[in-house]
Structure 1
Amino acid sequence: MKKFLSIFILLFIVGWAQAQQRVVYTINDGWKFKKGSLFEAQLTSCDDSSWEVINIPHTWNDKDGDDETPGLYRGPAWYRKSLLLDKSQEGRQAVIYFEGANREVQVYLNGAFVGEHKGGYTRFCFDITPHLRYGQENLFAICVNNVHNPNIPPLSADFTFYGGIYRDVYLQFMNPVHVATHDYASCGVYIRTPQVDKSEATVEVTTLLTNQTDRAVDVLVENVICDATGKEVRKTDASVRLAAGETKTDVSKKIKITSPRLWDIDDPYRYRVYTRILDKKRGALLDEVVNPLGLRWFEFDSERGFSLNGKARKLIGTARHQDYFEKGNALRDEMHVRDVLLLKEMGGNFLRVSHYPQDPVIMEMCDKLGIVTSVEIPVVNAVTETEEFLNNSVEMAKEMIRQDFNRPSVMIWGYMNEILLRRPYTEGKQLEDYYRYTEKVARALEATVRQEDPSRYTMMAYHNAPQYYEDARLTDIPMIQGWNLYQGWYEPDINEFQRLLDRAHHTYKGKVLMVTEYGPGVDERLHSYQPELFDFSQEYGLVYHRHYMKEMMKRPFIAGASLWNLNDFYSESRIDVVPHVNNKGIVGLDREHKDSYWFYKALLTQKPMVVIGNREWKARGGVVNTDNRACLQSIPVFSNAEEVELFTNGQSLGNKRLEAGCAFFDVPFVDGDNQLEAVALVDGCRVHDLLTVRFELIESFLKDSQKPFTELNVMLGSPRYFEDREANMLWIPEQEYKPGSWGFVGGTPYRRKTGFGTMLGSDIDIYGTNQNPIFQTQRMGIKSFKADMPDGEYSVYLYWAELDSDKKKEALVYNLGADSEQVLAGNRSFGLSMNGVTVLDDLNIARDYGYARAVIKKFMVTIKNGEGLRVDFHPKEGETLLNAIRIYRNY
């Protein structure tokens, strides 16, 4: 009997030793899903027949995070899936692996509790070997909860806290003797390069080994370094004895590589390190893990900035959020890949992965493309003064570092962003105690990061309140100070930006400085030839970015900058011109390129390029403003040439020198199609760009029009053009009435008061529309709107919204003082007549429709006897108002 048992054990060991190696695959498809705290949803007896069927990646907030109802569902939800596992993997170790789920997770398998995880942005895994049933159905039940928990960062932030399993879920099968997976869901292999130069590199490989059998085993740990073609470069091996159930750390001896090919921004060369565990007696491969190896050295200096492999490089790039239009954060791998490609094509060499670790494919792409990265944990805005909060923060830092330890692109670990933006106290002992605890958290995180990975730099990002951070003693802690600066957006004077840079350089001697955020909000649909801060126009976006880049490039002590942001992203509490969206991206939620993207590409890319700007403006038009019946409008052209020539309809508009990648041409648009061509010479290479612009010419003097009148769409109180993309129509700025023309009579534009002056229009969300800019400006005290169009039958649409509330609202902390000062609406009512006929006697927008509600009234009007259209406003109480007018000729 003993002999038979020994033979059985021997055959079993040989069997798993010769079995296929790691098997890893996703189980993303066909989950049952239901929101709520459901009783015993982990049990097989739970009836999920009526549950929604979904695929992972998934979030339950993609719709309610972008609707008109404030707030979104934050609470528990359940995912269930029955999965038949065949017997091919029986006898192996099994792990369920999550790339990310927000933000508290409990996992059950076949009714048994498997494990839990706290934190929404790092990976985690659980050993499910004891609970699997091979050859049978297995019930996976997962509870995910995104409710606010004061002990789990982030507490608050300017992005939406989506709930759900929004990244891939895997099953992973391994032999019982394998490279460990339980070390914070890392790969179990850590590669260090303590010495690298052009002549020689030293590599150390640390491996965590696990023996999950009930007997000791002798293994050979082999590390093979191969070049990018797969050719072996170096190899080491070591014998290790593992006791039953033991996990042991094995550190390879130093591996020398002579004349290494370096990982660099322009040549991101990667070796591969194969870590193999072999049965020492039989030579059978038990497990294998592959990791990238990038050989490089780098330095940050407080005066000279950043250098890589001994060469000075200015790091210029973006931050990035993991959002997409109507998908929330539940993105496929291909969409993450696309984003990093966008950054590389722009010429960016830096990505601030913020404000949390992101999908592994993001890091993989940065390694491949030569993009230097900083990665940070989501300790944002504030801390909770508890040990549990501190411990959770420290655990997140360890997860982040160990999971991306081997990435050659990672050179900075970050751990706090604008942490004093939401101070719970403003003065006294409570504030002092809060400062001290925040300092305690910061020092604990700094110590953790430096202990975990002394080879990289640490960074903390501050907002423009340096005194707060000095009082809290936070400016001394990290190796790199990141400054989030928005002068010319949240603060009025754009030139204060460079003064703050020089102040920081003078004040914080020896500290490396980076600009970790800067950028204005830009709505692709808005344009203005009178750009100003907070108008969200493409044109002001260019003014802002050109200024910031000019000043940063002047200063070698600025090691780098990450503009905010690569893409627009959802922020449920925001309003502005696009509700629930922070539109500071240089590409949109759907990745449409804004002019600011082309500006950076012209400035940063080495590949010859020329692009005509405003190319997304499809429904374009304007008022005749030249003697030859054209509309002169400015067009930007972007190129990395020295000069560019622009042609319109075959006629040259001349050559212009480019300044920081931009040249501006006044283009005489005519009615109909306009053919634009830009031509430039870059390093002897001729490049050109073609753009067809369909232009709607609007007559200024309607009675003398050579073109039949069809429609007129005017936003009152506004100098902006707005493209209504749903209807393919253009709204144009207002003008004052002159006989024979059209325009307003009387009144003043609505401008909201802020902490430092006035701004165009309102920043409130207008309910009942997704065309906020039409309703966010208005002319107050208007007497009339007149248009001297020809006789005919017309539809006249009048647009209103009450922009002054009768209720106080909370200021949005992220606007840093740029919020409107509260103006409480008085009672205002007025009558309305058209060509002398009373159409409304007592219109009171606030009374009849409420605050911030879009109101459109359509009137049918017959114009005869050459009288044109006259809309008169008759005040009864308070001021009259009008937001927009549309005049459409029926026949």
Structure 2
Amino acid sequence: MKKNLLIAIFLIWTSSLLAMDFPKFSTAGFYELPNTGREVYSMNLAWRFIKGDVEGSPYATDFDDSGWEVVSIPHGLEYLPVEASGCANYQGIVWCRKRFTPDSRLKGKQLFIHFEAIMGKSKVYVNGRLLKEHYGGYLPVILDVTDVLDWEKENVIAVKADNSNDPLYPVGKPQNLLDFTYFGGIYRDCWLVAHNKVFITNANYENEVAGGGLFVSFAEVSERNATVNLKAHIRNNSEKNEQVTVIFNLKKKSGETVKQVSKKVSVRKGKAGYAVASIGVDSPLLWSPENPYLYDLDVMVTTDDGAVVDGYRQRVGIRSIEFKQTEGLWINGKPYDGKLMGTNRHQDFAILGNALPNSMQWRDAKKLRDAGMKVIRTHYVIDPAFMDACDELGLFALVEVPGWQFWNNEPVFGERVYSDIRNMIRIHRNHASLFFWEPVLNETRYPDEFAKKALDICKEEYPYPYSIAACDHGAAGDHYYSLLLRPIESDLRDDKTYFIREWGDNVDDWNAQNSDSRVARGWGEVPMLIQAEHYANPSYIKEHPILCYETICNKPKQIVGACFWHSFDHQRGYHADPFYGGIMDAFRQPKTSYYMFMAQRSPEKSDLIADNGPMIHIAHEITPFSPADVTVYSNCEEVRLTVFKGGKEYVYKKDPSHKGMPSPIVTFKDAYHFMEWKAMARAGKQDDAYLLAEGLIGGKVVVSHKRYPSGQADHLIVRLDDEHVSLKADGSDVVTVIAEVVDKRGTVKRLNNSHVRFDIQGEGRLLGDASVGANPVPVIWGSAPVLVQSTTKPGKVRIIASMQNPGQSRPLEGVLEFETVANDQKEIFSQEELLIGGKSRSKMKSVVNKNDLERENERLRKELNQLKVREVEKQQTQFGVGIND
């Protein structure tokens, strides 16, 4: 076989031996327990979908939807190019329909359909009946279908969703004036929850103040003891009065019971009541970012004869959070050492928009925790799976009500915001990771009375210790709040605690929107080094003081922490450019600044699931265009750099008296000279030409990083970017696959402008096509990503990556093989519909022919929009966003 036909095959077998156990995600707010009479089924598969409104009665059971596309959810209406800002996404009405036949065993059960979220305005029909109308895209849509289903034939759910502009519910602001994009569709999970007629309710469905469902709170927390307060809402929809016993069993991870209590409750038919109890825990294992210990709380409802009629599991993290004015942040009864540093997060992902499956929520949280983040400011009421991940990984979550730079004086708008605040608290109140609420609208000129009402709602919905609400310093009604965001240091008050909600951006005059923090990964080495320096401690800080990691660490204890802007590159509505300020790109591929943040974490090794302990990274590509200075990021006490085998050594020792950021950037001046490397290469000493960085603690090398310059591109290597979480064969799970152009040694060749074509075989499918730049894929900074979705059958997936234009001297193909894992979640779907979808997966394309008049109208619309954008920019300046001072 000729050499140019050889294929370099790299096999990665993602088996149960190599991958971690798949993270356990809650379903409709709880974890299912067997043999309790409660079951949860995924409704994600085999939906019919069409863009635009439809004539006739698309909600009717006999409506002909045979020409519609078949999709699975989470679904974001469309696949989009990586550069999709400036309102490139679809805005308008869509219809989704699902045929299903529930298991006959469920007949006689209480049945709820639980959508985790539907973006925009929505109407949900079941078998032709309108059961729910909902306004807003970030909170659950729940409907009781017990008496609506037909057990003799197929049932149909029809959803009309509309993500177009509407000022009568939050967010409210026109999308072409938004600094983010909320996309559309049924973009989170859908569940069918089945249980007996006597059951633990759902807090969002019941709509009771500080009630419904299960409420876990804490009266006191210390290392010696803690009191866990419990309140469970039990409804009786049976035909007779019932006396039941509610059992609360708190268990360690090992399964060992810590303590069990029970309460009897008499519930009349058609009514509901509460079981209220408390559990005292001696020497509790406390939850904190450094040690995120979670107990299992099993809650079961039994009858007089001991039969279990309902039950589920809730994960509980015992912790206290207190903001003590000038004393700063206290966690678990002790002052917190240092600043609590983290980031902001818009979840939108390349190609997918906001429609991320649970595994991708986990991977996002894991990557951020790997980088040393301890707190995430979520935008907005976040997916439950992300909160589950935060609980397990030790990430505090700052939860916000939807809204940005918009207030409508119409009473219905305010009422819908108040409803969002209540339901935001109900859905996330039991999470250990909850840090504090932001119940007021971000950067918005709202009335003073709104701020007061928002705070009152927080107190009403969470009337227990360790629940804190915050608003912006200087905003209307800020005197009501004990915790304030984005402080102006000269105005600090002794009766307040402060948190910096955003820092890091350094935008120009809001026109071009350039900034030394906004750097696309593809711009290369030097721009990314500048971004990292800007976030850490820029050289111009003496002449132009700004907020950066160094200055924040030197703030008084009263300023307890900060979230920089932003974790990932993301799309925006009012500007044609995406926001490029992420420390990762839209595919979650790291930029240089990612490693700078990673270096700020503790060098002490722990049992944290996320990557932790000593780290070192050489931020130098050894190219003709690389700087003479060699930058290294490390959290070690000492860094030793060797240039060439047997060559010159450089040593850096951390100043133990330094009071700023934990690990300043390490720069070895004038250590790299291209002509010296060229001479070694021509002398045949390529194996001796490397950079070696070693991190030392206590005089011993604990970590090292070695880099070679890249040679001629030899082949493609293909890898999974899965954070050791296997692709689940549930028909909707997604994983990122990365192809990299490498030399014979395996060093990534960053400097090339190739395109990679992907082909797939087996139990997976590629998402997107050439119309959105998803396949073939341009090589950006040496790598080309593609998204792979699972089928419903576990098995082997084989991916072949090759150059779009192969040639005799071009890099050889790369092959990745891996196994998807079986789906342990029960599913309800029509197999016939799913098979149809498997044959027609190509995305529907809209062809728009524009005549001269339409083009002129579009030009005028853009001019009008630019006038409105100036108002956005003015408000951002007034709120201090991007000024960075």
Q: Would the TM-score normalized by the shorter structure come out above 0.5?
A: yes
SS of alignment partner, residue 122 of structure 1: coil
Q: Is the 8 A contact 2:317 2:431 kept in 1?
A: yes
Quick check: 1:633 aligned with 2:638? no
Q: How many residues align?
A: 644
Q: Is the 8 A contact 2:123 2:132 kept in 1?
A: yes
Quick check: 1:286 aligned with 2:309? yes
Structure 1 residue 677, shift from structure 2 partner: 1.5
**Residue matched to 2:30:** none
SS of alignment partner, residue 629 of structure 2: strand
Distance 2:85 2:384 in 1: 33
- Judged with a 3 Å threshold, the aligned counterparts in structure 2 of structure 1 residues 227 and 540 are, in CA distance, closer, same or farther, namely closer
**Residue matched to 1:446:** 455
Structure 1 residue 676, shift from structure 2 partner: 1.9
- Judged with a 3 Å threshold, the aligned counterparts in structure 2 of structure 1 residues 292 and 68 are, in CA distance, closer, same or farther, namely closer
C-alpha deviations, 1:627-676, integer Å up to 9, x for none? Answer: xxxx7533310111233122233223411335734212332233476522
Pick the aligned partner of 1:355 from 357, 360, 379: 379
Matched to 2:628, the amino acid is: Q
Distance 2:485 2:654 in 1: 31
- Judged with a 3 Å threshold, the aligned counterparts in structure 2 of structure 1 residues 725 and 817 are, in CA distance, closer, same or farther, namely farther
Structure 1 residue 213, shift from structure 2 partner: 1.5
**Residue matched to 2:484:** 481
Distance 1:639 1:584 in 2: 22
**Residue matched to 1:558:** 559
Q: Is the 8 A contact 1:31 1:55 kept in 2?
A: yes
Distance 1:236 1:404 in 2: 24
SS of alignment partner, residue 693 of structure 1: coil
Pick the aligned partner of 2:227 from 184, 189, 202: 202
Matched to 1:381, the amino acid is: Q
Runs of 5+ consecutive residues of structure 1 not aligned to the other structure: 1-17, 421-434, 484-499, 530-535, 624-630, 697-721, 730-768, 774-804, 820-891
SS of alignment partner, residue 694 of structure 1: coil
Range 288-297 or range 141-150, more displaced: 288-297
Q: Is the 8 A contact 1:160 1:572 kept in 2?
A: yes
C-alpha deviations, 1:246-272, integer Å up to 9, x for none? Answer: 1222322x3222222222222222222
C-alpha deviations, 1:399-453, integer Å up to 9, x for none? Answer: 1111111112213011235433xxxxxxxxxxxxxx6x52222211111012211
Distance 2:90 2:484 in 1: 36
Range 146-155 or range 57-66, more displaced: 57-66
Matched to 2:648, the amino acid is: S
Distance 1:182 1:295 in 2: 21
Quick check: 1:126 aligned with 2:108? no
Distance 2:533 2:79 in 1: 31
**Residue matched to 2:287:** 263
**Residue matched to 1:662:** 665
Q: Is the 8 A contact 2:85 2:573 kept in 1?
A: no
**Residue matched to 1:310:** 333
User: Percent sequence identity over matched residues?
Assistant: 26
Q: Is the 8 A contact 1:65 1:72 kept in 2?
A: no
- TM alignment of 1:315-334, pairs within 5 A: 315-334=340-359
Compute the TM-score of the two structures, normalised by the length of structure 1.
0.68
Distance 1:816 1:137 in 2: 55
Pick the aligned partner of 2:161 from 107, 127, 144: 144
**Residue matched to 1:402:** 426
Structure 1 residue 20, shift from structure 2 partner: 5.8
Structure 1 residue 173, shift from structure 2 partner: 0.6
Distance 1:633 1:479 in 2: 49
- Judged with a 3 Å threshold, the aligned counterparts in structure 2 of structure 1 residues 61 and 416 are, in CA distance, closer, same or farther, namely farther
Which of the two has greater strand per residue? Answer: 1
Distance 2:559 2:158 in 1: 50
Structure 1 residue 155, shift from structure 2 partner: 2.4
**Residue matched to 2:255:** 230
- Judged with a 3 Å threshold, the aligned counterparts in structure 2 of structure 1 residues 334 and 183 are, in CA distance, closer, same or farther, namely closer
C-alpha deviations, 1:572-610, integer Å up to 9, x for none? Answer: 3323xxx3x212211111111122211111112334434
- Judged with a 3 Å threshold, the aligned counterparts in structure 2 of structure 1 residues 182 and 266 are, in CA distance, closer, same or farther, namely closer
Pick the aligned partner of 2:90 from 46, 56, 73: 73
Quick check: 1:98 aligned with 2:85? no
- Judged with a 3 Å threshold, the aligned counterparts in structure 2 of structure 1 residues 544 and 199 are, in CA distance, closer, same or farther, namely closer
Matched to 1:564, the amino acid is: W
Quick check: 1:415 aligned with 2:410? no
C-alpha deviations, 1:202-228, integer Å up to 9, x for none? Answer: 222111111112221221122122222
**Residue matched to 1:755:** none
Q: Is the 8 A contact 2:694 2:701 kept in 1?
A: no
**Residue matched to 2:213:** 188
Distance 1:771 1:690 in 2: 24
Measured on the aligned residues, the alpha-carbon RMSD in Å equals 3.1
- TM alignment of 1:721-870, pairs within 5 A: 726-727=753-754, 809-810=866-867, 811=869
**Residue matched to 2:67:** 50
**Residue matched to 2:614:** 609
Structure 1 residue 680, shift from structure 2 partner: 1.8
Distance 1:563 1:85 in 2: 47
**Residue matched to 1:544:** 535
Matched to 1:511, the amino acid is: K
Distance 2:196 2:480 in 1: 44
**Residue matched to 1:503:** 490
Higher alpha-carbon Rg: 1
Q: Is the 8 A contact 2:616 2:694 kept in 1?
A: no
SS of alignment partner, residue 441 of structure 1: helix
- Judged with a 3 Å threshold, the aligned counterparts in structure 2 of structure 1 residues 815 and 593 are, in CA distance, closer, same or farther, namely farther
SS of alignment partner, residue 710 of structure 2: strand
Q: Is the 8 A contact 2:568 2:586 kept in 1?
A: yes
Compute the TM-score of the two structures, normalised by the length of structure 2.
0.68
SS of alignment partner, residue 208 of structure 1: strand
C-alpha deviations, 1:78-133, integer Å up to 9, x for none? Answer: 11111122311110011101111102221111111121222111123111111112
Structure 1 residue 66, shift from structure 2 partner: 4.4
Quick check: 1:36 aligned with 2:52? yes
Distance 2:521 2:212 in 1: 42
- TM alignment of 1:634-649, pairs within 5 A: 634-649=629-644
- Judged with a 3 Å threshold, the aligned counterparts in structure 2 of structure 1 residues 480 and 818 are, in CA distance, closer, same or farther, namely closer
C-alpha deviations, 1:367-410, integer Å up to 9, x for none? Answer: 11222221111122121112111111111111111111111221
SS of alignment partner, residue 374 of structure 1: strand
Quick check: 1:296 aligned with 2:323? no
Q: Is the 8 A contact 1:187 1:403 kept in 2?
A: no
- TM alignment of 1:558-577, pairs within 5 A: 558-575=559-576
Distance 2:62 2:325 in 1: 63
C-alpha deviations, 1:176-225, integer Å up to 9, x for none? Answer: 11111264479810011112222222222111111112221221122122
SS of alignment partner, residue 480 of structure 2: coil
SS of alignment partner, residue 161 of structure 1: coil
Runs of 5+ consecutive residues of structure 2 not aligned to the other structure: 1-33, 505-516, 539-547, 606-612, 656-662, 713-748, 757-776, 782-858, 878-885
